[in-house]
Structure 1
Amino acid sequence: MIKTVTLKAKQKVFGNFAGRHTSPFKGIGLDFKELREYQYNEDAKRIDWKRSAKFQKPLIKEFEEERELNVIITILVDGSLYFGTKTLKTETIAEIAAILGYSAVLFDDKVSLLLYEKKPLTHLKPTKSQKNIPIFVEKILECEYLKKEYDFSFIDYLNKFQKSLLFLIGDFYKHPPLHKLKHETYVLWVRDKFEENPSTLGEIELLDPHTLKNVTTNLNKSQIEKYKKDILQNDKKFEEFLLKEKIKYKKIYTHEDSFMKLMELMR
């Protein structure tokens, strides 16, 4: 599985970025450089209308990109991640991490991996080497997820490090106060479609991923509809929070093309 995930991710990254001179993370980590006058034929969307009104002429904010980005891929380890109808969420997460990792090192950016529950389970040092990306995949796939439940202490832990480009990956059934992070944060929300739209009726046996206790229950249509409604409300609340705090996010389902979803986010 490690080789399969790694090879798939590597082929997508190198196949799509071959000959490209700019990082897919271009536009991230920009510092304000200067204010200059708008030139004919430039994109009018870049005009700073507030400053333009003040100085009575169209002005554009000029930015310069940081020479080197520091990328942190963080997995919020929870028992609920060990689920999937065809592909486990953990496998999708491993592929996402590999795509991000290869994308970073290909353009000479540093990238590190953090697996966090109530404390760091794994924190690999920043690297620029392709040889370390399979280790990322291995750590994610071989992590014990069942009986794990992360808390929000990851925020204080991450804030100890220099400001970075942070990719935060989880299924987000609970809502961390992400506005407290000092990093430029991107949320990757990984789900299996069945979690949001279950169709099983009748007597089924459920396993609590946090306690490993088995529960036998009889699901009828009204119970399933209530569950769907609760999930929808939970997700809507988190989505509204992300929009309010201007935190970019992308929901990625286990049956989807992870590379294409990430490219949509990076546009």
Structure 2
Amino acid sequence: MSLALKTLQLKARYQVYTLLAGNNLSKMHGEGYDFSELREYQIGDDVRKINWTITAKLGRPYIKELHANRELSVVVAAMMDGSLYFGADNLKQHAVTEIATILGYSAHHNNDLFTGFNFYSDKYTLAPPTKQLYHIENYSKELYEQKILHTALDYTKAIQTLSTHIHKRSLLFIIGDFLEPVDLSLLAQKHEVIAIIVRHREEEKPHKLGDVILDNPKSTQSLNTDFSTTSIQHYLAKLKAHDETVQTHFIHYNIRHTKIYTDEDPIDKLVRLFV
């Protein structure tokens, strides 16, 4: 394990045990309960607990008793492709890794079940449901070392994989730069989805470069262009329209979200999500 990765993990673990201590990851209400038994309705019972299907079959009212299930299923899905390969030192990929590591340590600290997905190209690897630090740290290492240059992620396939592989209602974090259209509506119907957008500030405030050759990090293609004020304005207009569409999608499906830049400490914005 590289020293940089070990430092990242130590920092994330320290922050979880200090800044996140006592904060519940989930804001789900009424979902953290398992079925216990059916029994006949008694005067004073909450009528909202009546099971109308059983009541209709038996001809008298029955209610559904539940017992608390405190264990939360936390799923982290990292969307990894060439678009993360931006700026010096591969900072976007490192930020994704740090965020995923913090979430993994937080799940472990709360004694919740953690599952980690690493999506890249048309493939994925999986850290199976676990409470073991070894699997969480191995997932962190995998994200940090994932080869992403000249790769393009199949987002539709990734979302379908999540939909078919996560059976238990979960707190699902999806981490990526969200520079591609992503439809999370199906996942939001089944799970509590939180989107974490990772960006480099220069992606949103680019500098004039003049005549340059731009390499596409998602392919081996290059573009010889004049990256002038006009080009920047055109680029920013398209980015703004895209981000507004993404924002509308999140609001419509009640998806909590935050944006974290590579020059920020992610723990600050994560804390705001949890409190």
Give 5+ residue unaligned stretches, structure 2. Answer: 34-44, 48-65
Q: What corresponds to 2:176 in structure 1?
A: 170
Q: Alpha-carbon deviations, 1:153-207, whole Å to 9, x = none?
A: 1222112221211100111112221101122111011110100110133122211
Aligned mate of 2:161, from 128, 141, 157: 157
> What amino acid sits opposite 1:154 in the alignment?
A
Residue 134 of structure 1: how far off its partner (Å): 2.2
Alignment CA distance shift 1:231-1:25 (3 Å)? same
Query: What is the distance in 2 between the residues matched to 1:117 and 1:3?
Result: 23
Contact 2:80 2:148 in 1 (8 A): yes
Query: What is the distance in 2 between the residues matched to 1:98 and 1:158?
Result: 19
Residue 127 of structure 1: how far off its partner (Å): 1.5
Contact 2:81 2:121 in 1 (8 A): no
Q: What corresponds to 2:59 in structure 1?
A: none
Q: What corresponds to 1:81 in structure 2?
A: 84
Q: Secondary structure at the match of 1:237?
A: helix
Aligned mate of 1:72, from 51, 75, 80: 75
Aligned mate of 1:93, from 72, 77, 96: 96
Q: Secondary structure at the match of 1:88?
A: helix
Q: Secondary structure at the match of 2:243?
A: helix
1:124-143 correspondence runs (5 A): 124-143=127-146
Contact 1:204 1:216 in 2 (8 A): yes
Q: What corresponds to 1:25 in structure 2?
A: 25
1:263 aligns with 2:271: yes
Query: What is the distance in 2 between the residues matched to 1:233 and 1:221?
Result: 18
Alignment CA distance shift 1:35-1:186 (3 Å)? farther
Q: What corresponds to 2:196 in structure 1?
A: 188
Contact 1:73 1:167 in 2 (8 A): yes
Contact 2:84 2:90 in 1 (8 A): no
Q: Alpha-carbon deviations, 1:100-143, whole Å to 9, x = none?
A: 00100001001111111354421111111223332122100111
Alignment CA distance shift 1:35-1:144 (3 Å)? farther
Alignment CA distance shift 1:32-1:66 (3 Å)? closer
Residue 241 of structure 1: how far off its partner (Å): 1.2
Q: Alpha-carbon deviations, 1:193-243, whole Å to 9, x = none?
A: 100110133122211012122333222111111111111111011101111
Aligned mate of 1:209, from 201, 217, 225: 217
Q: How many residues align?
A: 238
Q: Percent identity?
A: 32
Query: What is the distance in 2 between the residues matched to 1:35 and 1:174?
Result: 46
Question: Who wins on radius of gyration, i.e. which is larger?
Answer: 2
Q: Where in structure 1 do 4 or more consecutive aligned residues deviate above 4 Å?
A: 32-36
Contact 2:19 2:271 in 1 (8 A): no
Q: Alpha-carbon deviations, 1:33-58, whole Å to 9, x = none?
A: 8969xxxxxxxxxxxxxxxxxxxxxx
> What amino acid sits opposite 2:113 in the alignment?
K
**What RMSD in Å do the two structures reach over aligned CA positions?**
2.3
Alignment CA distance shift 1:241-1:86 (3 Å)? same
Normalised TM-score (structure 1): 0.82
Aligned mate of 1:242, from 236, 250, 253: 250
